[in-house]
Chains A and B, each alone.
Chain A
Amino acid sequence: MLAIRNPLSPEASLVARTRRGDAGAFEALVRQHKDSVLNLARRMVADCDAAEDIAQEAFIKAYRELHRFRGESAFATWLYRITINEARLYLRGHQRRVARWERQRDLAAAEASAQSPTDDPAPLTELLQELSADQREALALFHLKELSLEEIARTLGAPLGTVKARLSRGRERLRQLARERGLA
């Protein structure tokens, strides 16, 4: 599908100014997207500190890799794709760490008691972690309330019907889980 290019959009001009070395222009881009990127990361991994690290890393990677941004999509969708990739990397590392703990049971037990749930300020964000990664990614992008279904599909590099199915099943599962936990 042909993407519509608008070289005169304010965002495109911020990207162009960043490329010419104007750090202030990049700061404006960071401010524009910081909340969305952080929320996306948070819904992907639940952990607040990890989400903040992921958001930070996503912006830095976007800056470093700006030559790869070809303006065929909105800067935001490109940035969200980087954020999701960073979150996937984190989760993969996290799984490895968990597996290591499970091999060393004592350590695992100690770890579990060390991070016993404190007062949970975001129960639904926590609940998202029980969905499959595919469903969680689709839901996290959907709940930014910024992207159309087509844009979500393009960000995830998946067909429209697939994304729709992931959203639908994810929402259904989330409702069931919330019911079981007495959240809804």
Chain B
Amino acid sequence: MNCEHVQRKLAEYSAGLVQGDERLRLAEHLAACEPCRAQLAEYRALDELLAGERVVADEGLVRKVMTEVRVMGAPRRPVWLLSLERVAPLATVAAALPLLALFVLTALNWSSSPAADALFAGVSYAHTISLGLAVGACGLAALFAAWLTWRAAEAVS
């Protein structure tokens, strides 16, 4: 390990960001090398200086924050989120209904009862496709609404 390599690593080493073998090898070199040690001392001095410049927040900060907070009242969840929470379960149910309807219709179709034959007599291929797309969209909406509800509930916890 030469000085150039060591000095490139000193910024990390002095911050405790070098671990394991490499740390040991750097420490070994530093123990034997005066110029590298001098540079390490510079980093240590910087850290001490910065630590010494630390300030303490006075009571004024707490007072200003709390005055404002008391005016604001209890933290409220925003109206859009509240209304979403209220609407989301309903939307889930509403969107799930067409899915249920499709399920029932399909079951009827396969059962080939006279009632089902009458029901599907006028249904074309295009009808079936558009019904399928509509139901798919409703299903996605249901999933989305369920996800929103879950997320909103999660945010409260």
| Cβ proximity bits B69-84 to A, threshold 8 Å, 1 near / 0 not | 1101111111001000
For B50, what are the chain A residues with a Cβ–Cβ distance below 8 Å? 124-125, 143
Segment at the B interface, from A13-21, A101-109, A111-119: A13-21
Over the window 46-58 of chain B, the binary record of Cβ atoms lying under 8 Å from chain A Cβ atoms (1 yes, 0 no) is 1101110111110
Please determine whether A34 and B61 come into contact, CB atoms closer than 8 angstroms. yes
Give the interface SS of chain A, mostly helix, strand, loop or mixed. Answer: helix
User: Residue A97 at the B interface, CB < 8 A?
Assistant: no
B62 in contact with A31 (CB, 8 Å): yes
Name the contact of B61 in the complex, choosing from A20, A55, A184 (C-beta under 8 A): A55
The smallest C-beta distance from A4 to any residue of chain B, in angstroms, reads 15
User: How far is the CB of B78 from the nearest CB of chain A, in Å?
Assistant: 7
Subset of 30 A-B contacts with CB under 8 Å: A18-B75, A19-B75, A19-B156, A21-B75, A23-B69, A23-B70, A26-B66, A27-B66, A31-B62, A37-B57, A38-B56, A42-B55, A56-B68, A63-B65, A63-B69, A63-B72, A64-B72, A64-B75, A67-B156, A70-B154, A121-B53, A124-B49, A125-B53, A164-B12, A167-B11, A171-B11, A171-B14, A174-B46, A175-B43, A184-B42
The chain A residues found within 8 Å of chain B, CB to CB, are 18-21, 23, 26-27, 30-31, 34-35, 37-39, 42, 48, 52, 55-56, 59-60, 63-64, 66-68, 70-71, 121-125, 142-143, 145, 149, 164, 167-169, 171-172, 174-175, 178-179, 183-184
Asked if B155 is at the interface of the complex by the 8 Å CB criterion, the answer is yes
Range, interface on chain B: 35 or more
Using a CB–CB distance below 8 Å, which chain B residues touch chain A? 11-12, 14-15, 17, 39, 42-43, 45-47, 49-51, 53-57, 61-62, 64-66, 68-70, 72-78, 81, 154-157
Across chains A and B, the number of contacting residue pairs, with CB separation under 8 Å, is 117
Task: State how many angstroms separate the Cβ of A184 from the closest Cβ of chain B.
Answer: 5
* In the complex with contacts A38-B57, A56-B64, A169-B11, A175-B46 CB distance below 8 A: yes
